Amino acid sequence: MDRSKKPAAIGVGASLPQPTIAIKDNTISASLPSGESVTIHLYGATVTSWKANGQEQLFVSKKAHLDGSKPIRGGIPLVFPVFGPPPQNHVTSPLPQHGFARNSNWEFLGKSSSESAETAGQEKADLAVKLDFGLSHTMLTEEFRKAWPLEFGLVYSVTLTKDTLETSLQVRNEGTQNFEFQVLMHTYFNIDNISNVRVKGLDSKTYVDKTRNATSHTESSAALAITEETDRVYKELDPAVPVIISSADDDKPIFSLTRKALTDVVVWNPWIEKAKGMADFGPDEAYQNMLCVEAGAVSGWQTLEAGEAWEGGQTIKSRL
Ligand SMILES: O=P(O)(O)OC[C@H]1O[C@H](O)[C@H](O)[C@@H](O)[C@@H]1O
């Protein structure tokens, strides 16, 4: 990891309340003076808490392993360089499901804060704190390095503002040959009750239904209700158009999700039987309190030439 690229503090007004950072037990937390906070485990650079409007916005299973023995079941695990079970006869074939990023130890590169000059001292909405995390091929376990022997650098940035959480990933090819990758931000949203939410913004989009032998369909619902096991990869979405989790009662948005360079969106809920079957998912009925809406580039492969960089990300707005 090139440490000379550490982020610098920018535009910090000395007299204004500033974000605070706490580093404890392999987790990094940042809080804004207005009360919002975010926590990231270095294991997987997994965001495990995002509090806004006085409420936890992310779902984490009560049985999640937080000791680095297994990818964390909840929050925002980062999927890289392959989504799902790797295909056969591919460079990613020896890797586990969803790759190695979510089960590797990342390093904390530092934080930066910013506040727009026009609003400084008046409107705190623009105060932002950005935490950067790095993972490179030299940091992987020997097993993962053997399984994916390519030279890469990842910088994952988590930015908290009063109303949003942004996660973005930069992938650098530091080797001498091209490589292919997939990436996905596997966000587990915390919801009151699955029967009371709808997913909007998928209407007329083509999706692959992984619960029905990966068959292709076209979404006909403008407000998708989740009433059974759901595992769908929606393709070719305009990243600038939000996908919205809304309330079925009053149609108000609960979360909205815009993306950069991530044109696929996965919608996943394990429902009753699958939830029971996952040893790290609990309690069993918690499938009612979560919905994964995952921004990714997973239906094809991104090709990155030697020396080149790629960047993609998501911005989540909560309880608008
Ligand atoms: O159990 P995991 O490896 O964490 O995967 C959890 C889920 O991730 C994605 O949403 C996939 O589309 C699902 O097929 C998978 O079951």
pLDDT tens per residue across span 45-55: 999 999 999 99
CB distance 85 to ligand 1 below 6 Å: no
**Is the Cβ–Cβ distance between 243 and 201 less than 8 Å?**
yes
Question: Which atom of ligand 1 is nearest the CA belonging to 97?
Answer: 3
CB distance 232 to ligand 1 below 6 Å: no
Question: What three-state secondary structure class fits 295?
Answer: strand
Question: Which atom of ligand 1 is nearest the CA belonging to 274?
Answer: 16
Question: Which atom of ligand 1 is nearest the CA belonging to 73?
Answer: 4
Residue 15 pLDDT: 62
CB distance 266 to ligand 1 below 6 Å: yes
Q: Is the pLDDT of residue 126 over 90?
A: no
* pTM of the complete model: 0.93
Q: Is the pLDDT of residue 292 over 70?
A: yes
**Phi then psi for 277, rounded to 5 degrees?**
-80, -15
Report the 10 Å Cβ neighbour count for 164: 19
Q: Is the pLDDT of residue 117 over 70?
A: no
Two tokens, residue 175: 């080797």
**Known active-site residue 186:** yes
**Is the Cβ–Cβ distance between 144 and 138 less than 8 Å?**
no
- Ligand 1 pocket mutation pick from 98, 188, 208, 209 by most atoms within 8 angstroms of CB: 98
